[in-house]
Amino acid sequence: MPDIGFVNGRFMPLREAMVPVEDRGFQFGDGVYEVIRTYCGAPFQLEAHLARLERSARAIELPLSFTSQEWARYVVEGIRIGGYAESKVYIQLTRGVAPREHQFPASVRPTTVMTVREMHSVDARLRTQGVGVLTMEDLRWGRCDIKSVNLLANVMARQRAHLAGAFEAVFVRGGEVTEGAVSNVMVVMQGALVTEPEGERILSGVTRDVALTLARKEGVAVQERPIGLDELRGADEMFLTGTTVEILPVVRVDDAVVGSGKPGDITKMLYDRFQRSLGS
């Protein structure tokens, strides 16, 4: 089965899916997106992802072509047509196709794109050994809570991290750690789980929310407050959360080792509970 594309309500093989050059997503990055993965073939936290898609669209005054119920049906249908053991679904909405002018076009149909590809989990070795991250100044705009398709700063950051041999870029704003280029950041200090609070400096991660709920259920104290860069370097444990990384231990920040240099106990416990909550 080929990878699946979906443009404005119609499914097709991905290689046949096209968007015109004048699409505002291409011209301006004027759009929003979501990434959803499956476990055991079922979309994970679909309602939460679709609710965030609605919030992102509303924040940029983008009318939605489909309701969340319609999206849910399309997502499930795309996964079924793809036929993969596990799928990764991208939904991208842009302000549509119009001659290039910054202001919104008067009346134009938003472009609606979905792709379905096979989902490959993070290499098991990275999960057991932990990964390294590279910290850098957060050069993104002031509304990181909107899941905008305009990802240039994230792309540049992740490339820098990649060239330095690190798995993820971790952003620092005003001396405080915000999040990763594709993930949220959590640390364990004196037994408490600490992470940047929801707000305009981070994306409200769906996996972040799942991890915090699991931590609270296990009696781990949760502090949603900014993390100083100096604190990060002295943390006992650190991990990333996200749809693609799940709960991924971090054992190196720049040139410094985190905690014992091995995935921490609370991190491992949370990953275990996360897996168990999926029924796998």
Q: What positions carry a catalytic annotation? A: 147
Beta bridge partners of residue 188, listed in sequence order: 193, 237
Find, among 224, 75, 240, 77, the residue nearest to 166 by Cα: 240
What residues numbered 14-73 form the site for ligand PDD, per CB under 6 A? 35
- The nearer residue to ligand PDD, 105 or 176, going by C-beta atoms, is 176
Region near ligand PDD per CB under 6 A, out of 24-32, 199-207, 213-221, 251-259: 199-207
Q: Which of 127, 158, 201, 208 binds ligand PDD (CB under 6 A)?
A: 208
For the chain, strand residue ranges (E) read 4-7, 10-13, 31-39, 42-43, 87-94, 111-118, 131-137, 168-173, 176-180, 184-189, 192-195, 222-224, 227-228, 237-242, 246-253, 256-257
Give the shortest CB-183-to-ligand PDD separation in angstroms. Answer: 5
Nearer to ligand PDD, 36 or 235 (CB): 36
Within 10 angstroms of residue 41's Cβ, the number of other Cβ atoms is 13
| Closer Cβ to ligand PDD, 98 or 146, answer by number | 146
Residue 150 binds ligand PDD, judged by CB under 6 A:
no
Closest contact distance (angstroms) between CB of 24 and ligand PDD is 20
CA–CA separation, 222 vs 208, rounded Å? 12
Q: Does 203 bind ligand PDD (CB under 6 A)?
A: yes
Taking the least distance from each CB to ligand PDD, the nearer of 46 and 98 is: 46
- Whichever of 6 and 44 has its CB closer to ligand PDD, that residue is 44
Taking the least distance from each CB to ligand PDD, the nearer of 207 and 267 is 207
For position 112 contacting ligand PDD by CB under 6 A, the verdict is: no
Give 15's DSSP letter. Answer: G
Residues binding ligand PDD: number (CB under 6 A): 14
Backbone CA torsion sign across 50, 244, 94, 42: negative
Nearest-angstrom CA–CA distance, 259 and 262: 7
* Nearest approach, Cβ of residue 156 and ligand PDD (Å): 13
Which residues, numbered 210-269, are part of the site for ligand PDD (CB under 6 A)?
Answer: 241-244
Beta carbons within 8 Å of 181's beta carbon, 6+ residues apart: 154, 155, 157, 158, 161, 168, 169, 171
Query: How many Å apart are CA 205 and CA 201, to the nearest integer?
Result: 12
Of the candidates 112, 120, 269, 129, the one whose C-alpha atom is nearest the C-alpha of residue 186 is: 269
Residue ranges in 75-104 that form contacts with ligand PDD under rule CB under 6 A: none
- End-to-end alpha carbon distance in the chain: 25
- Binding piece for ligand PDD, criterion CB under 6 A, among 61-69, 96-104, 201-209, 271-279: 201-209
Q: How far is the CB of 202 from ligand PDD (least distance, A)?
A: 6
Binding residues for ligand PDD, rule: CB under 6 A, are 35, 179, 182-184, 203, 205-208, 241-244
